[in-house]
Amino acid sequence: MRFDPAETVNSASATEILPDKQPRFSGMSHVSLACRDLVESKMFYSEVMGGELVHEIAGFVEYRIADIVIGLSEQRGGWTGADDEYPHYAFYLDGANFELMKHWLDRYAVPNYPYRRDDTALIYFRDPSGNLFELYCDRGYEGIASLPLAPRRGGQAIDFRSLNYRWNANSTTLSGMTEIQRPRFTSFAHASIFCTELEQAKRFFTKVIGGELIHDVDGFAEVRIAGVIIGFTVRPGTTTGRDAEYPHYAFFIEAKDFLPMVAWLRQNGVVTTEPWTRDGVKGLLYFRDPAGNLFEIYCRKLGEAASFARGKKQGGGYEIDFAALNYEWDG
């Protein structure tokens, strides 16, 4: 059974629950990424990123890193483009851990580029599939003056292609290496994604998603949504593939706001899936922004979920047509 928004009972009932005020997300649940090789990625996210394995089923795993969950699943493409800066995913860390992380990445043969922007020290690197990460240290790094300037502060352009690599996990074994302290991230900082029209993206993420615009300069803007920063830009990058599930970005929502949020999105011209469930307890919904980036709404416990269609992977008949979620937005 594939999703047809014109024919689903749940679709109609959700639309009838008209919110009297804009519903809100309550936090960020997870970021789920595409990978080339799940076995290789599991080793990378546990050994290099220091993730805690919190969920594993056939073809999909999740790691908790600091205060965010990173999901991983094999897919033909979907990681950051070889020459692109977007999408990328950033973690905060303090000065001591910034220095440790520089050595840690080198130790595991992960190409990286440390640099500075004003009083902030940063490092770009990729996972073995090509997903781009940024480390963000805005205080306490004593060696900041030794780092090259950011491109928009007079420094050279970053060669993002040079950060791609074929990772040989067997060559990174630590036998014979000097023991060093494992670095720790403080928290998830932001997800920065590509958009096709910056003004449209600003309208969408503020008026529809309810974000607070906190930064807007030179083709790049950021909003704060439920305590998490989402950046978007027209600089070189890619969105979630037309038929793809990864990458996607998931927000928690409280039970009382789940169906009102479905209605709110549809009222504002956003195409969504039918509300669905994996287990009859959690309420789930997918939608895209106007550029095509895929988002998920995640409610951990929802009474109405008992009547929702169950996903095909969980033994139900509901199969999501991700291509059908693309739309032209006139908001």
Q: What is the pLDDT of residues 199-216, one digit of tens each?
A: 999 999 999 999 999 999
CATH number at residue 311: 3.10.180
- Residue 330 counted as domain residue: yes
Q: Are residues 160 and 264 in the same domain?
A: no
- Domain containing residue 102: 40-188
214 found inside a domain: no
Q: What is the 3-state secondary structure (H, E, C) of the chain?
A: CECCCCCCHHHHHHHHCCCCCCCCCCEEEEEEEEECCHHHHHHHHHHHCCCEEEEEECCEEEEEECCEEEEEEECCCCCCCCCCCECEEEEECCHHHHHHHHHHHHHCCCCEEEEEECCEEEEEEECCCCCEEEEEECCCCCCHHHCCECHHHCCCCCCHHHHCCCCCHHHHCCCCCCCCCCCCCCEEEEEEEECCCHHHHHHHHHHHCCCEEEEEECCEEEEEECCEEEEEECCCECCCCCCCCCCEEEEECCHHHHHHHHHHHHHCCCCECCCEECCCCCEEEEEECCCCCEEEEEECCCHHHHHCEEEHHHCCCEECCHHHHCCCCCC
pLDDT of residue 331: 86
Q: Which residues of the chain have pLDDT under 70?
A: 1-18, 170-178
Identify the residue whose tokens are 């020290």: 121
* Residues 184, 47 within the same domain: yes
Let me know if residue 152 belongs to a domain.
yes
The domain boundary residue, chosen from 157, 188, 219 = 188
In this prediction, residue 3 carries a pLDDT of 42
What pLDDT, on a 0 to 100 scale, did the predictor assign at position 16? 55
pTM here is 0.93
Res 4: pLDDT: 45
| Structural domains in the chain (count) | 2
pLDDT tens-place string over residues 213-249:
999 999 999 999 999 999 999 999 999 999 999 999 9
